[in-house]
Amino acid sequence: MLPQDDDLADIFSIPSHFRTLPPLRDEVVTATSIAQDETTDECLPLLAAALDARENPLAFNQFGIPKLRVEDHAEFLRNNLARFPARAVGLDASRPWLVYWGLLGLHFLGENIAFARSSVFNTFFALQNATGGFGGGHGHNSHLATTYGTILSIAIVGGDTNYRLIDRMAMWRWLGRLKKESGGFQISEGAEEDTRGTYCALVILSLLNLPMELPHDAPSRAAGFKTFDDGIGEYISRCQTYEGGISGTPGNEAHGAHWIGGCWPMIQNALFGPSTPEQYEEDSAGDLYSAEGLARYIMCCCQALPGGLRDKPSMNPDSYHTCYTLSGISTTEHHHGYQTPQEPGQFASAFSWWAVKKTPQEDGDIAAFEDGTEIEPMHPIYAIPHAAVDEIRKWSLSQPWRPSLDSPS
């Protein structure tokens, strides 16, 4: 005999606040509130699916959360690393991002991604410009965002052949042309200047061990700048608003996309100081957000039946949401910290981060979804595996800098 709904309520522990509307609701009706109500109506049945007698009770853990369908999602990502049909031409300028999302998502799922090394080389060989940097598609101008995605993709798959594809000298000169008198960076030559460009440029400079001295013909030397980091602190301070957040450019509103997700581990560790994995203890103060709530939403509402993860139940899955949804689980499952750098250097602290798996507690948020998920950690600054950061950094440190008339002595 099939279990009844009342029986299932005794089997599965799903707090009522995850199954019902909040007791207090704003009566003001806007387009946003209507969209939110529609999404809530989509989610509530999925969040309480374990209590539905028509569902297979073995598909859920004791907390009423379905397991992460690792193989389905891995197959979805592998398919999205293959050839796209002609109708996907609108994604032509996003080739590096599609590769990055697919590879990082597979890493989170514990998949071996060595199979992609030759494909990564062939893809990015055609996107590198002789003047430095990588475009988003064939024949496209170099762009900091797509160059960032390219460098991270190469770092994820690794291999000396892929590392050597990068023209470090041309990259350094190109970055010098993007550095502006304001202290920030243009995202592309002749394009907009915002905090995205600054972040991407610093990631590239540090991973590739490029000289911090500006090329002699860098336009920003006219403002008295001598190094890539000159003026950056002042530029970002002008982007901080009265609310405390960061805007894309000075004078604009603070925007979550410019408050990089990795900032929270950095702020947390800035407050508590450096430590080692051996010194790590669970934070009794708890998390900034509900790990259980995040897990329930992801596992119950974001898993698409054919594979892949989505923004919300009414949307189709894609590599973007699959990758970053998995990163949410990864961040929840791991504690990040940094230790005092062992070697000198401007970016030494960026390469001194570690991650440990949090220990599920019976009464803790993590216990609710620990059964059925084994997501790998990622570096909170570089958003790639810790080992990938170490390997590309090790390679770049071993590479001699070719002297030229434009390079620092």
What is the value of pTM for the model shown?
0.90
- Return the beta strands (E) in 112-222 as ranges: none
182/316 Cα distance (integer angstroms): 41
Q: DSSP label at 380?
A: T
Structure confidence at residue 33 (pLDDT)? 93
- Reported as a single tens digit per residue, the pLDDT across 50-79 is 888 888 888 888 888 998 999 999 999 999
pLDDT value, residue 202: 94
Identify the pLDDT of residue 280. Answer: 63
Query: Which residue ranges does the chain devote to CATH 1.50.10.20?
Result: 84-258
**Cα separation of 370 and 391, whole Å?**
30
342, two tokens = 């062992």
Length of the chain: 409
The full DSSP string for 282-343 is: --TT--SS-HHHHHHHHHHHSB-TTS-B-SSTTSPP-HHHHHHHHHHHHHHHEEEEE---SS
User: Is 366 within 8 Å of 332 (Cβ atoms)?
Assistant: yes
The single-letter code of the amino acid at 332 is: T
Q: What pLDDT does residue 73 have?
A: 98
Closest CA to 366 of 264, 278, 293, 271: 293
pLDDT of residue 13: 81
Residues of the chain with pLDDT under 70: 1-11, 257-275, 278-287, 360-372, 403-409
3-state secondary structure 20-42: CCCCCCCCCCCHHHHHHHHHHHH
Count of other CB atoms within 10 angstroms of residue 167: 17
Question: According to the model, what pLDDT value does residue 362 have?
Answer: 44
- Beta-bridged to residue 60, according to DSSP, are 66
pLDDT at 261: 42
Helix (H, G, I), strand (E, B) or coil at 97: helix
Residue 337 burial (CB count, 10 A): 21
Identity of the residue numbered 222: A
Q: Which residue has the tokens 């028509």?
A: 54
Predicted local distance difference test score (pLDDT) of residue 295: 87
Class of domain 84-258: mainly alpha
Could you tell me the two tokens for 151? 């460098």
- Give pLDDT, residue 14: 86
Residues with Cβ < 8 Å from 266, sequence gap 6 or more?
380, 381
Long-range (24+ apart) CB contacts under 8 A made by 35-40 are 38/314, 39/312, 39/313, 39/314
pLDDT at 265: 52
